[in-house]
Structure 1
Amino acid sequence: MKKRYFAGIVTSLLLTSSILGACSSDEGTTGKSENVDNVNKMGMPIVKEKIKVDGFGAKFFASQDWNKLMLWDEYEKMTNVDVNWKTTQIEGLVEKRNLMLASGDYPEVFYASAFPKTDLIKYGKQGVFLPLNDYIDEYAPNFKKLLEENPSVKKGVTMADGNIYGFPAFFDPKFDAFHAGTPWIKEDWLKKLGLKEPETTDELYTVLKAFKEKDPNGNGKADEIPWGTGYGINMFINYLRGSFDLNKQGVMNSNLDFKEGTEEFRFVPATDEYKELLKYLNKLYTEGLINQDVFTVEPQQFHAEASKGNVGMIDDVDPKELFKLDGYVGVPVLEGPTGERSYNAVTNGLGNMGMFVITDKAKSPEAMVRWMDYFYSDEGSKMFFMGFEGVTYEEDKEGNFKYLDTITDNPDGKNLDQAVSDYLTWPGGYYPGIVKQKYFQGAEGTEASAQNAKKVKPYVAKDEDIIPGLNYTLEENDEVSAIMTDVQTYINEMTAGFITGKQDFSKWDDYNKTLDKMKVQDYLKIAQAAYDRTKSEK
């Protein structure tokens, strides 16, 4: 789903999303495998004689067994490709995949493994990840069409050596609810306390204060959580970026935006505006207006708490779908202390570029490119998100799809995510493929989410202002990675410190001096040069 997926995106974007490969005419070529004659170029099955493939994937629910899941069982029948899955939960993904690669004991394909571009370049250069250009040209008509129709996406997935090493997640730009949505607020609490939806950051503080102190749930206990999320402090930061005049160029390069009236980069976490945003969050945190475990809580833990109905404002997807809680509406985009009012936590629709990679151990890369390409088609997207007719969904005479009552009103009391996960893998938000509104009926597909997106849309950063990414050379990429790995760790630690009060804001100048010592200015020069190159190429 968007919120949890977007939280993961932003975490990786903070370090690596601006590392987009420069397009090159010297694209890598790929040879054919010994098993190419077994591959059908069109139609199903993908291979004439069944093949077995070792795959690794990240999943949201620990209880899922991908080797017995209907999605993969049915796809195996269609394709003749039998994937033997080894999986890990999303929380342990980075450590697990890194250990596999370091030991050399890695699979033929990595699925939903969210490799950052630094890894795509690194392992592509080493030959561990196969270059996919020629395979895509010959065996991936759906993905090839997507690249042709979206040049910025093609540029985004192409690394500095001219090669494509991964299949991405891509979100249809027409699907507004997947691109822009604010937190959800409990409307009956507002009415009970005689409050209106907040329109400014000051009004939000007043509302949250009332939620904490005036017993809106009426049980005589101070057990309300005014504002909460299970996906970390960046959820709050992203909602407020535009209110504090940050990231007017979107968050594909979330540490960068332009100095006012110029096309010269500044470093967002070092700005006075970022300081003011942190001061605001410090006020909310120290007064108990946001969940105190925001830096450590796991999503499932927060979901269990939120399901009790004691969270006044939730930063997640539609609570009705996720928690079976009625009465939540989208919060407006807030006007900030200097009059800014915009929603800037947006991208060009391109998600993580390393969601599906094929390694040098693959015995039939042609088959696996075809296997993945299906999920960029309408039929593949429908199967991935809707499942199977008569089992998970039904289609009406007008051609509209909807989940069966066993999914939306599960007899065992499961929420939508849980019920869907008995059959499919998309809940949790880690997947390659294309997301279209017609075939996606998770929480972002609800009418409430559509209304939330409609409320946000007038304030969303303009498409022409969004920078999809920067074209770094391999040498620049190495230098940026060397600088930003430590810098991002430091920023995360200090951001948490300032918000919780463990770091005093009187240390802000020292914080900036430390960033300069860590070569942030060198990073800015590299980023500026990459952006200027991009302009000259247009």
Structure 2
Amino acid sequence: MKRLLSFILAVLLVVTLTACSVGSQTEKEVESTMETNVKQPSSNKSSDEPVKITAAIADKVNVEDFNTNDVTIWIEKELNVDLEFTVYESTDYNNKINLMVSSGDKLEDIIFGGFADSMVYEWAQSDALTPLTDYFADKNLAVNLYDAMARVGYDFRGQITLPDGEIYYIPVLNQSYGNECQSKVWIYEPWLKELNINAPVTTNDFYEVLKKVVESDVNGNSKADEVGLAGYNGIYSGWFSFLMNAFVYTDTANNFMKVENGKLSYSFTENVWREGIEYIRKLVKEGCIPTETVTQDMQTWKTMLNTPDVTAFTFAYLTPSQITDVERKSNYIALAPLAGPNGVQYTQYNPSKASCGMIITADCKNPEIAFKVGDLLVCEENSIVTRFGARGKDWDYIKDLANAKDYISPYEGFDPYIVVYNDTEFWGSGSMQNRSWMQSGPYIRQYGIANGMG
């Protein structure tokens, strides 16, 4: 359905257009720190030999080796298991797993991945998966999952229970105001000052400032290389949603569906949708938006953002984190949602919810131990490590710092919780590392983490 809608809308556009303290610490340091920070289910340590658990996972360009990763080693020591990874190409990972299931191939014990509920349910109905409902009900087994429920403030089991009444996966859940409002645009403030213009408020303002930038040599390199709005991934990306929400509520994450007065409809069926498309067509035609924005992938877009000279005036993304130069990144400020010609001023909102992070297959001979692996992964500290790196190297808890009082939270109502030292290097640079799984697998972070970064 999504591909069909994408095709139809693209045609319309063309036409009308922690490790709980693993990090780089020593083995002794890792063990002693984790004992105080992770809630421990009963392990397999009474057995002399580690239990072998096979796992399928998609490759990550910035993870050196899942088999020797610090997080893997930590799990193996905590649960007395031997995790053996089969790493598949990420480009066709979901289809590869689906083909293996439908063909009746022998599967790894654990399969990590963000599979759609519909796909998981289909696999479950073909008896390819182990139901996890009873494991979730055992508070002595799912100790970190119950702690996570307390941290996020609700029992998320209802969100991950499928139509047959069973739970088949350990979830990913990231509560974050920033992620819930995905379609944000960032504008390069020094150019506003250089051209003596204010940040745009309306769609017409936005057109005027983009036009002024692309027709000038504001970066001073004697080249016509200024980019008005840099985007990627066509109509299913933030730049499109940001612009269209000045005309009609536009939700790219839900195939442009919206609910109004209890009625479900599609945004593109309304007349004002055409007005938005015509506005975007104007921006493209007059060079304010490069045509690459409609077709290029994220990697090409990142190259556009990180040229030697600043060329991107505005771009759409959750944060400016994809800018690798720290000083340049600090000069991009958030742009408020634009008001359209009819006074419409929406922003896309997608509340945080639990989704698939890991499944256990019917081929697994030790499903309870495999479940413990997933439960351990969602502990608070590893849930931070998987996104921000090793504690003590890439981040720290504010409470552990001598100057804790010097930090403030970016969100009202939240106390500072963690300090992240160089997220551009760890997350944004694409550099190879082996201290984190980089969000491959389950994790659960409460609002206080993302909203409490000092």
Secondary structure of the 2:57 match is: strand
Which structure carries more helix by proportion? 1
Q: Aligned partners of 1:264, 1:47: CA distance in 2, in Å? A: 57
Distance 1:359 1:233, change over 3 A: same
CA contact (8 A) 2:227 2:289 kept: yes
Aligned with 1:350 (options 346, 350, 353): 353
Question: What one-letter code is carried by the residue in structure 1 that aligns with 2:282?
Answer: K
Please name the residue that 1:332 is paired with: 336
Change (3 A) 1:401 1:300: same
- SS at structure 2 position matched to 1:114: coil
Measure how far apart 1:150 and its partner are: 5.9
Q: Taking structure 1 as reference, are residues 127 and 409 closer, same or farther at Cα in structure 2, changes over 3 Å only?
A: closer
- Per the alignment, residue 396 of structure 1 pairs with 401
Q: 1:369 to 1:322 in 2, by over 3 A?
A: farther
Give the equivalent residue in structure 2 for 1:155: 158
1:366 corresponds to which residue? Answer: 368
Aligned partner of 2:390: which letter? F
Alpha-carbon distance in structure 2 between the residues aligned to 1:357 and 1:158 = 13
Question: Equivalent residue for 1:209?
Answer: 211
Rounded Cα–Cα distance in structure 1 between residues aligned with 2:153 and 2:165:
17
Cα distance, 1:409–1:241 mapped onto 2, change above 3 Å? closer
How far did residue 439 of structure 1 move? 4.8
Q: Describe the SS at the equivalent of 1:67.
A: coil
Alignment correspondent of 2:259 = 258
Higher deviation after alignment, 144-153 or 235-244:
144-153
Question: 1:169 aligned to 2:172?
Answer: yes
Q: State the partner residue of 1:77.
A: 77
The offset of 1:119, in angstroms, is 0.5
**Pair 1:409–1:58, CA change in 2 (3 A):** closer
Query: One-letter code of the match for 2:444?
Result: I
Residues 228, 96 of structure 1: alpha-carbon distance in 2 compared, 3 angstrom cutoff:
farther
Could you list the per-position Cα deviations for residues 436-482 of structure 1 after superposition, in whole angstroms to 9, with x for gaps in the alignment?
45555xxx8767xxxxxxxxxxxxxxxxxxxxxxxxxxxxxxxxxxx
- Which residue identity is paired with 2:320? P
Structure 2 residue aligned with 1:128: 128
Residue 134 of structure 1, CA deviation: 0.7
Matches of 2:45 and 2:295, distance apart in 1: 44
Q: Partner amino acid for 2:370?
A: M
> Aligned equivalents of 1:170 and 1:120: distance in 2?
17
For residues 292 and 379 of structure 1, do their structure 2 counterparts lie closer, same or farther at Cα, with a shift above 3 Å needed?
same
Structure 2: how far apart are the matches of 1:273 and 1:110?
A: 44
Does the aligned pair in 2 maintain the 1:59–1:425 contact within 8 Å?
A: no
Task: Name 1:279's counterpart in structure 2.
Answer: 278
> Is the 2:70–2:435 Cα contact (8 Å) retained in structure 1?
yes
1:432 matches 2:442: yes
Task: Measure, in 2, the Cα distance between the counterparts of 1:59 and 1:231.
Answer: 21
| RMSD value, Cα | 3.3
Q: How does 1:14-163 map to 2 (within 5 A)?
A: 42=41, 48=47, 49-61=49-61, 64-88=64-88, 90-103=90-103, 104-111=105-112, 113-138=113-138, 139-144=141-146, 146=148, 153-163=156-166
Contact 2:417 2:453 in 1 (8 A): no
User: What is the DSSP-based 3-state SS (H/G/I as helix, E as strand, rest coil) of the residue aligned with 1:167?
Assistant: strand
Please give the alpha-carbon distance, in whole angstroms, between the structure 2 residues aligned to 1:330 and 1:46.
51
Q: How far, CA to CA, are the matches of 1:252 and 1:225 in structure 2?
A: 26
Task: Please give the per-residue CA displacement for 1:299-326, whole angstroms capped at 9, x wherever unaligned.
Answer: 2222122111311112224336642223
Rounded Cα–Cα distance in structure 1 between residues aligned with 2:323 and 2:301: 12
C-alpha contact 2:233 2:295 (8 A) present in aligned 1? no
Q: Map Cα deviations across residues 477-502 of structure 1 (whole Å, 9 max, x no partner).
A: xxxxxxxxxxxxxxxxxxxxxxxxxx
| Per-residue deviation, 1:373 | 1.6
CA shift for structure 1 position 183? 1.6
1:316 matches 2:321:
no
* Count of equivalent residues: 394
User: CA contact under 8 A between 2:321 and 2:428: conserved in structure 1?
Assistant: no
**What CA distance in whole angstroms lies between the structure 2 residues aligned with 1:52 and 1:340?**
57
What residue identity is the alignment partner of 2:215? E
CA contact (8 A) 1:385 1:439 kept: no
- 1:177-256 residue pairs with structure 2 within 5 A? 177-180=178-181, 182-235=184-237, 236-246=239-249, 253-256=254-257
Counterpart AA for 1:424:
S
Deviations 1:382-436 (A, max 9, x none): 44334434444444134964345xx5586xxx7744358442132xx65432124
C-alpha separation in 2, matches of 1:390 and 1:155: 36
| AA in 2 matched with 1:140 | A
**Larger CA deviation: 235-244 vs 195-204:** 235-244
8 Å CA contact retained: 1:320, 1:328: no
Residues 303 and 323 in structure 1, CA contact (< 8 A), matched pair in contact too? no
CA distance in 2, matches of 1:107, 1:317: 34
Letter in 2 for 1:332: A
Contact between 2:148 and 2:444, CA under 8 Å: does it hold in 1? no
Deviation at 1:169, TM superposition (A): 1.9
The answer to whether structure 1 residue 418 and structure 2 residue 430 are counterparts is yes
Q: CA 1:121/1:222 → structure 2, altered by over 3 Å: closer, same or farther?
A: same
Contact 1:244-1:277 within 8 A present in 2 as well:
yes
Partner of 2:21: none
What is the CA distance between 1:242 and its match in structure 2? 3.4
Aligned-partner Cα distance in 2 for 1:222–1:98: 47
SS of equivalent to 1:313: strand
Q: Distance in 1 between matches of 2:2 and 2:142?
A: 30
Give SS of 1:68's match. Answer: coil
Checking the alignment, whether the CA contact within 8 Å between 2:109 and 2:370 is kept in structure 1 is: no
**Contact residue 133 and residue 163 of structure 1 kept, 8 A:** yes
Determine if contact 2:52/2:84 at 8 Å carries over to the other structure.
yes
Q: Displacement of 1:332 after TM fit? A: 0.9
- Indicate if the aligned counterparts of 1:53 and 1:83 stay in contact, CA closer than 8 A: yes
TM-score by length of structure 1 reads 0.65
